[in-house]
Amino acid sequence: MPFSAQIYRERRRRLAEKTREGIAIIPTASEQIRSRDSDFPFRPVSYFYYLTGFAEPEAVLVIIAGEHERSILFCLKRDIKEEQWFGHRLGLEGAKKVSGVDEVYPISSLDKEMPWLLMDQRVVYLPGETSEWVERIKNWFVDIQIAMGKFRLHDQGDYRNAYDLLDEMRLIKQPEEISLLRQAAQISAYALNTAMRACSPGVAEYELEAVLAHKFRRENSVYAFQPIVAGGKNACILHYIENNCLLKNGDLVLMDIGCELDCYASDISRTFPVNGKFSREQKIIYKIVLAAQEAAIKRVKPGNNFFDLHRMAVRIITAGLIKHGLLTGELERLIKDKAYMRFFMHSLGHCVGLDTHDSGSKEIRDGQQVLRPGMVLTVEPGIYIQPDDATVDPKWRGIGIRIEDTVLVTDKGCEILTAAAPKKIKDIEFLMRQ
């Protein structure tokens, strides 16, 4: 529990204020089997955790809006025998203390209590667009009608998406969230610096990943996502996660990594030479990507449209590719025809928060949402030249470069949260000599 119960109470109050009426049902996840009798490490559903700070499986939050606003949490009871095998459980009292909810019930009583909580409620806010919960709620409405002797066959609820409202709330980070995101970003940046210093020809991709794992765990953090450690042509695979090849002299290695601290994520990418020295061709492509990234970051400020930043990065990258013969033709025509997408096929960035690709990512990418203070997002242009691309000179083939920082939108501009990891060529080469 990174924050006080009062913060979670205030978030639930804000959600109830947005709904104005009805009832919201927000569940977390159950444990998932990894193999046979072994489970994956548990992580709560971000929407649920945002409203409760409660990180145990098999729980459901219910918020009733209106004049008699209240919040109810259903969760697992304490079980001494279970805890002897699998660890301490907060139980009902502990869950109430952490989350600050008004009432707590055992999760086993959900089907018994929910029909009565739904009584007189027509508007029901669901966890996303999920038919599973619609069916459960319909059954609970039927239970009410049977109990009251008023059985009627009709659709008993006005179903809405609670996550849409929560996405609006999660888009702007609160000061305590920003503090955690800043810490997570710094851990990731310093871990990446250590990996750069550990890099040399003959080292395996998984050995650099091991450096990250060590640094993350020393700071009591975990992976926010499976790290990308992509040497040579592997860097041209956007989500390469095998991390099982040897790093070769003369190649680049692209690392896209991020730790998660108390469920808050970070995201950073750096590309650097395996032998510590960029080749001429690598420098040329790297400088194009860096110019696009730095120009975009300068324009991360309130009121600007992130999609305009993406278009600016596209223009810089396309112009650079034309200059060095990777694209031929007139700049405006190539941009209109999206010829650049052979080399830069993803968006400029996404929001970061409880999820690596956080609430609001689609809206900022589509230009539906202008930048506002408190947003946290990535800026990550790239160029990827496929190793089998016969349309370009062989000297360019297999070069894959992405440069990514996590930035916080401030009142007048932005703060680069991952700035501790160098990205200028001379600074990278200097660090790798250490």
Residue of 177, 256, 260, 355 marked active site: 256
Tell me which of 12, 350, 358, 405 is the catalytic residue. 350
Give the helix ranges, DSSP H, for 324-347.
Answer: 331-336
Told to judge if 350 belongs to the known catalytic residues of this protein, a careful annotator would answer yes
Known active-site residue 402: yes
Is-catalytic flag, 9? no
- Catalytic pick from 167, 177, 260, 267? 267
Active site residue 20: no
With 0-12 CB in 10 A as exposed, 13-18 as middle and 19+ as buried, what is 278? buried
Task: Tell me, yes or no, if 429 is annotated catalytic.
Answer: no
CA 305 centroid distance within chain: 20
| Residue from 159, 346, 389, 397 carrying the catalytic annotation | 346
Q: Within 232-387, where are the H helices?
A: 280-298, 306-323, 331-336, 361-365
Is 346 considered catalytic here?
yes
Distances (CA, A) of 109 to 54, 61, 77, 127, 266: 19, 13, 11, 20, 38
Dihedral sign computed on CA atoms, order 277, 281, 287, 293: negative
Sequence-distant (6+) residues with CB within 8 A of 338 are none
Q: Which amino acid is at 86?
A: F
In degrees, rounded to 5, the angle at the alpha carbon of residue 57 between the alpha carbons of residues 140 and 60 is 30
Question: Is 37 a residue of the active site?
Answer: yes
The closest alpha carbon to 188, from 215, 157, 209, 163, belongs to 215
Strands in 51-141 per DSSP E: 60-64, 70-75, 103-106, 123-126
Asked if 380 is an active-site residue, the reply is: yes
Q: How far is CA 229 from the centre of its chain?
A: 18
Q: Look up residue 264 and give its DSSP letter.
A: E
Give the number of other Cβ atoms within 10 Å of residue 429's Cβ.
Answer: 16
Q: Which of 11, 170, 310, 402 is catalytic?
A: 402
DSSP 3-state of 369? coil
To the query of whether residue 384 is one of the catalytic residues in this protein, the response is yes
DSSP 3-state percent helix, strand, coil across the chain (nearest 5):
45, 20, 40
Query: Is 68 part of the annotated catalytic residue set?
Result: no
Catalytic pick from 20, 36, 37, 388? 37
Residue 111 has a CB neighbour count (10 Å cut-off) of 12
Find the angle CA(275)-CA(278)-CA(281) to the nearest 5 degrees: 135
Respond yes or no: is residue 88 known to be catalytic: no
What DSSP string describes 119-188?
TT--EEEESSS-HHHHHHHHHHHHHHHHHHT----S---EEEEHHHHHHHHHHSPPHHHHHHHHHHHHHH
Selecting among 357, 389, 415, 429, the annotated active-site residue is: 357
What residues contact 227, with CB distance under 8 A and at least 6 apart? 209, 212, 241, 243, 255, 256, 257, 258
Which is catalytic among the residues 205, 251, 404, 405? 404
Alpha-carbon span 277 to 362, nearest angstrom:
37
Catalytic residue among 20, 152, 154, 239, which? 239
Q: Which residues are catalytic?
A: 37, 239, 256, 267, 346, 350, 357, 380, 384, 402, 404
